[in-house]
Amino acid sequence: MDFASQILKWYRKEKRNLPWRSTRNPYLIWLSEVILQQTRVDQGMDYYLQFSEKYPDIEMLAEASEQEVLKMWQGLGYYSRARNMLFAARQLMSEFNGVFPRDYEQIRKLKGVGEYTAAAIASIAYGQRVAVVDGNVKRVISRLFGLKNTGNDLYKKVKQIMSEQINFQPPGDFNQAVMEFGALYCVPKNPLCDHCIFFDHCVARKKALVEKLPVKVPGKKPKPRYFSYLVINIREENSIVMRKRNVNDIWKNLYDFPLIETKKALSAEDLQKEPAWDVWFGKEQQIRGSSGLYRHQLTHRTIIAQFHFVDKSSISELSLHENWEIIALENINTLPLPRLIERFISTYYPSEYSDI
């Protein structure tokens, strides 16, 4: 079986027409790879087009504010990607004179750039013979060659096979071909085995292991976190209090509302007994009303949130605490927000957040 030649022949005939495939600009290839980490192509396409239009080169991205970048990233999740991308753009300007490095090891020095991303950029933009290994590649290689390894052992074995196969092929096209085949044919569930170009050679198909490879290692069950959000309305100002999350936690540097986190969901009555409530409002302040429960799933956490409405007549009645900001309702849509907060605002303040 001439795996490399066959998959390249398939790729040149069947590949999708994606904008980052029409360029060898390392900046645009890097941008696409960052966006497509943990993101489907159909979801990431609009983000790539918007970013590449607003920030067409390294210098323009480096000059952007973090709030601007996070706002454009809003909805993609895994926001550390956006923060790292901005940091790396500034790193490119300060350490590399705004020129994207050509060497794999130099590319690896950029903030947030791991082995996979560096290999993709080096091979696609510069033709370096560095093999990529991502989820699609692992799936294709493990099934085709019948690999039952797991974890780092699987990574090493797949890397070895890919490195052997890439030696006599155009590196960028070969890497993209294997990834594309995993995205279109050798998909996680119900792969298109009957139409597969490797039908006669696939070890997993011959041994009825297609659904079992690559071997799945049970992940940790997501832990619940309980958020009681305080939606503080200032009526005379037509404003609301929001908080910038500036600690090393989920949604860093995005905006949500002041919150009290507890080990279980609290009723409005119990929430008003929490020590933070007394510090912020005193015993006389009452909750006007509450939303239903919102559930938001993250990779390792399940957020169970409820929003409680607190009314203030004017700013003078309110003591602002750390990271609290008074935001005019008409300006809410300028802030980078977690998807959970978007969902809430689009329901309770639809006219002010009409672009959701």
Q: Please provide residue 228's backbone torsions phi and psi, each rounded to the nearest 5 degrees.
A: -105, 105
Q: Where does the chain have alpha helices with state H?
A: 3-14, 26-36, 41-54, 58-62, 66-73, 80-95, 104-107, 115-126, 135-145, 151-166, 171-184, 203-206, 268-271, 275-280, 339-348
Secondary structure (3-state) at 339: helix
**Residue 345, exposed/middle/buried by CB under 10 A (0-12, 13-18, 19+)?**
buried
The answer to whether the CB of 323 falls within 8 A of the CB of 256 is no
Tokens of 129: 């013979």
The answer to whether the CB of 140 falls within 8 A of the CB of 182 is yes
223 strand-pairing partners: 301
Sign of the CA dihedral 39, 92, 63, 60? negative
Is 14 one of the annotated active-site residues of the chain? no
Residues 6+ apart with CB under 8 A from 211: 189
Residues 6+ apart with CB under 8 A from 65: none
CA distances from 126 to 47, 121, 130, 270 (A): 24, 7, 10, 61
* Share in percent of the chain as helix, strand, coil (round to 5): 45, 15, 40
* Active-site option among 33, 237, 269, 352: 33
Which positions are catalytic?
A: 33
